[in-house]
Amino acid sequence: MGRDDDVAAWAAHDLGRVIVSADEVAARVRELGREITRDYEASPPLLVCVLKGAINFMSDLMRAIELPVEVDFMAVSSYGAATKTSGVVRIVKDLDVDLADRDVLIVEDVVDSGLTLNYLRQYLGARSPRSLEVCALLLKQGEQRVEQDLKYVGFSIPSDFVVGYGLDVNERYRNLDAIYTFVGEV
């Protein structure tokens, strides 16, 4: 894909090609919402948003799910200010609700190495949920160091570092509607 002509002028110099357009994101989120609605019809899930990158995705996804879902938020860090994961996961904000005997759906922005997600699954799995699944907006091709079984994936993308639709570099670019390669300096 090429560049999006509607890209914000303040960000244009740091953005490469469009990986997923705003229209593609919106359509896929609606599809995921329908799948989740169907799969969890008997037992609406607790959606656990992994902050901050998944906030845009979570916001749109929960509106696309036609069930009385509950939400909670968790903040983890494995990047810091870098564009590659450090491999060290740090919990910045933990959940407020009990997971025991609940269907839990982790809502993640991007899965690359899989180390953070693997850690989260173990950490949350120790709290005795009835089920623990993952809905990831993006899966980076060929980057996984840990085998992942993801129930829902929005898009499989190249291993480029990307920004937009919640994904950032130094807290910038989250408010872009599309997902772009990042070509600027960190």
pLDDT at 185 over 90: no
pLDDT tens-digit readout, 132-181: 999 999 999 876 666 778 999 999 999 999 999 999 999 999 999 999 99
Instruction: Give catalytic residue positions.
Output: 112
Whether 48 contacts 124, CB under 8 Å = yes
Domains and CATH numbers, the chain: 26-159 (3.40.50.2020)
Average pLDDT over residues 11-22: 95
Tell me what pLDDT residue 135 has: 98
Render the burial of 132-157: b for 16+ CB within 10 Å, e for the rest.
bbbbbbbbbeeebeeebeeebbbbeb
Pick the more confident residue, 21 or 1.
21
pLDDT tens-digit readout, 77-126: 775 555 555 567 889 999 999 999 999 999 999 998 888 899 999 999 99
Whether 4 contacts 17, CB under 8 Å = no
Q: 118: how many CB neighbours lie within 10 A of its CB?
A: 17
